[in-house]
Structure 1
Amino acid sequence: MLVIHILDKVNSTNQWAFDNLTRINDSILSFEQSEGRGRGNRAWISPFGGLYFSFLSKRHQLLPFITGVSIIQALPDLASELRLKWPNDIILSGKKLGGILCQDDGNMAVIGIGLNFDNIPPLPNSISLSDSNFKADKTIFLNDFRTFFESNFVISNEDIISKYSSYDCLISNQITWASGSGVAKSINPDGSLNVQTIDGTLNLYSEDVHLGEGVQDV
């Protein structure tokens, strides 16, 4: 039987999952995090009212992509406004709705999802589902998400990359990162981002990427 631990507040749902969960698909849901973390171990502001959810998963090379696609599929009424931003951001109406953090200890993976649900957006370039006048129910969302995740987990890598690419806001656009700039062309089968630069093509694997010529975006 699937077990969901529901807590008002934790330090980090991913850390709690690593420390306390032992079975694949068991999960932790919290309404606030005191020490939430994003990619690169950066602080993730996690005010009360958001959705902070982590669960144990089998390992997979494309977990962030499977997760991102499943999140959009679980919010069908907003599908026309939702986008993904390689490699782990969820975008609504051009602003950051949430993010995904997948961590792997060599035996299993923990997938963490942070979404602004009913909370006031913590940053100027962020947005909450409540801002969209869309009344989302966390229980319904999570049930639908898990259904889509299980289905997407078993499809081919090619199909999941194709689905992800159809939602990604970087493809065909000018982007910048710490050491360069170019046009995002495609997402490779291994999940890296293929970019055309003035010197040729290259693949990005974990860089912080920004839309346009500047560095201030979602």
Structure 2
Amino acid sequence: MWVGKRRIKLDIVDSTNEYAKRLISAGLALDGDIICAEEQTAGHGKGKRMWFSPEGGLYLSAIIDGKYKSPFITSAIAVAVSNAIGNNVELKWPNDLMYSGKKLGGILTEEFNGFLIIGIGINTFSESLLDGELRLLATSVEMDKNEKERLVEKIIKELNRVLRRLKRKGSTDLARRWNEKAYRLGEEIFITMG
């Protein structure tokens, strides 16, 4: 298995994960396929929550063989993506990528017909597109097409590295790496109720 050996680039799609499911259902998917889009019209995250996916973001799904299924796969992918983006990205359990205290992106792992579909969404569009309440919770690091392409290459490299490590060494090493990047780990927090 080599993630990224075949790549499908789309300008606009309902959802890269849904596109991956259609490929699998049609018998056209290969282990390691990558689907990238500039915009999603029906992007979604965990629990089918809508994922704001305007033009200019980085929306990517990887199709991998179900043999890589692990309770730690989403955490392993989060480590890979944060490594690709850079040291300032923290991880919020179970699937959020945080930057400067706000959500920069997310990971969605789904099982489908013997495959795992790993969805990755990163806000690389103009931050001016975030309005209202979304601006309070999310952030974006604007990138041009060349910068995004370089980031996709880094993500693919890290995905391959982390999947090999997960298969070879199990989850112990990845759990340590996840904890090193954990958002607000060890901080005292206050909850106001009522």
Which category of TM-score, normalised to the shorter sequence, fits these structures?
0.7 to 0.9
1:133-172 alignment runs, 5 A limit: 137-155=147-165, 156=169, 157-172=171-186
Q: What secondary structure, in the 3-state scheme, does the structure 2 residue paired with 1:141 have?
A: helix
> Within 2, Cα distance between the matches of 1:68 and 1:166?
12
Q: CA deviation at 1:171?
A: 2.5
Answer whether contact 2:57 2:125 (CA < 8 A) is retained. Answer: yes
**Where do 4+ consecutive residues of structure 1 move more than 4 Å?**
133-136
Q: What secondary structure, in the 3-state scheme, does the structure 1 residue paired with 2:62 have?
A: strand
Give per-residue Cα distances to partners, 1:169-203, cap 9 Å, x unaligned. Answer: 142245xxxxxxxxxxxxxxxxxxxxxxxxxxxxx
Q: Residue 136 and residue 84 in structure 1: after superposition, are their counterparts in 2 closer, same or farther (change >3 A)?
A: farther
Q: CA deviation at 1:74?
A: 1.0
TM-score by length of 1: 0.73
What's 1:2 paired with? 5
What's 2:56 paired with? 49
Q: Residue 214 and residue 20 in structure 1: after superposition, are their counterparts in 2 closer, same or farther (change >3 A)?
A: farther
Higher strand share: 1
1:112-131 alignment runs, 5 A limit: 112-120=119-127, 121-122=129-130, 123-124=134-135, 125-130=137-142
Q: What secondary structure, in the 3-state scheme, does the structure 2 residue paired with 1:31 have?
A: strand
What's 1:40 paired with? 47
Aligned length: 174
> Within 2, Cα distance between the matches of 1:67 and 1:118?
22
* Letter aligned with residue 115 of structure 1: I
Answer whether contact 2:54 2:125 (CA < 8 A) is retained. Answer: no
- The yes-or-no answer on 1:11 pairing with 2:10 is no
- The unaligned stretches of length 5 or more in structure 2 are none
Q: CA deviation at 1:144?
A: 1.3
> Within 1, Cα distance between the matches of 2:46 and 2:95?
8
Q: Residue 214 and residue 5 in structure 1: after superposition, are their counterparts in 2 closer, same or farther (change >3 A)?
A: farther
What's 1:60 paired with? 69
> Within 2, Cα distance between the matches of 1:129 and 1:135?
13
Cα RMSD (Å): 2.3
* Letter aligned with residue 116 of structure 1: N
Q: CA deviation at 1:151?
A: 1.2
> Within 2, Cα distance between the matches of 1:47 and 1:159?
35
Q: CA deviation at 1:119?
A: 3.1
Higher helix share: 2
Q: Aligned residues: percent identity?
A: 29
Give per-residue Cα distances to partners, 1:142-181, cap 9 Å, x unaligned. Answer: 111111111111222100111011101142245xxxxxxx
Higher relative contact order (CA 8 A, sep 6+): 2
What's 1:31 paired with? 38
What's 2:114 paired with? 107
Q: CA deviation at 1:106?
A: 5.2
Q: What secondary structure, in the 3-state scheme, does the structure 2 residue paired with 1:8 have?
A: strand
- The unaligned stretches of length 5 or more in structure 1 are 175-210
